């Protein structure tokens, strides 16, 4: 399983789709999924999390909702796909909970890890690609989308700055699993950096792909 993660507006959606296409073009069997969401039940929980006013949930409630969705995502989508020998590319996974609720939300990483072990056990993705970009640029991009899934964006620049710093802190903890990708460049350059990191990690020969 590979994860593309980072602050809102960092380009995760575009790059996740491109990575999926690169795998398919190479003859691999792969699926693309996302968090919160990725299964029927988890998509219902997603609506509670990403819409509405920032203060409607505190960090602990967010964490519990996230992990309820994650459990469904693992049980119904991720684990069956991996068991069938399918590559899984996920737009976000548990490091978002560590960054958003654990560090930026000030619950502490220890609290997040306790819940994580109960829900996911020892399961972790093989590779996590952190898209790093100045939070002001990312937030402006996210706001230009103009949809109503903007609850976290409404928390503002200071919160997003804490999230960005949190992702970088997490990435430093395990250089074998994490790769930080400079997302403050054009889409094709970001894609080439991601494909290079994936090829290096898994000894693949994927090629960068055009706009998807």
Rounded to two decimals, what is the model's pTM?
0.94
**pLDDT confidence band for 211 (50 / 70 / 90):** low
Q: What is the pLDDT of residue 86?
A: 98
Q: What is the pLDDT of residue 104?
A: 96
Specify if 102 maps to a domain: yes
Cα angle: 115, vertex 77, 90; to 5 degrees: 75
CATH of the domain at 74: 3.40.50.300
Q: Which residue segment(s) compose the domain that 161 sits in?
A: 2-202
- 114-162 tens-digit pLDDT: 999 999 999 999 999 999 999 889 888 878 877 888 899 889 889 999 9
Per the prediction, the chain carries an average pLDDT of 95
Specify if 209 maps to a domain: no
Specify if 29 maps to a domain: yes
Contacts of 17 (CB under 8 A, 6+ apart): 32, 212
pLDDT higher than threshold 60 for residue 212: no
Q: What are phi and psi of 97, to 5 degrees?
A: -65, -40
pLDDT top residue among 191 and 145: 191
């Amino acid at each position: 399983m590979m994860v593309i993660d980072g602050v809102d507006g960092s380009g995760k959606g575009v790059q996740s789709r491109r990575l999926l296409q690169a795998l398919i073009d190479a003859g691999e069997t792969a699926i693309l999924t996302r968090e919160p969401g990725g299964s029927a039940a988890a998509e219902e929980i997603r609506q509670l999390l990403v819409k509405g006013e920032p203060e409607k949930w505190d960090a602990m409630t967010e964490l519990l909702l996230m992990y309820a969705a994650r459990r469904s995502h693992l049980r119904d989508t991720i684990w069956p796909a991996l068991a069938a020998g399918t590559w899984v590319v996920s737009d976000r996974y548990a490091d978002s909970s560590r960054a958003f609720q654990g560090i930026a939300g000030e619950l502490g990483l220890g609290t997040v890890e306790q819940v994580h072990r109960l829900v996911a056990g020892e399961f972790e993705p093989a590779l996590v690609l952190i898209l790093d970009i100045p939070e002001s640029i990312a937030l402006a991009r996210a706001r230009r989308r103009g949809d109503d899934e903007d609850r976290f964006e409404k928390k503002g620049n200071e919160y997003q700055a804490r999230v960005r710093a949190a992702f970088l802190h997490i990435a430093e903890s395990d250089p074998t699993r994490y790769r930080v990708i400079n997302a403050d460049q054009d889409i094709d350059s970001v894609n080439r950096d991601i494909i290079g990191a994936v090829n290096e990690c898994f000894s693949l020969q994927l090629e960068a792909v055009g706009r998807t």
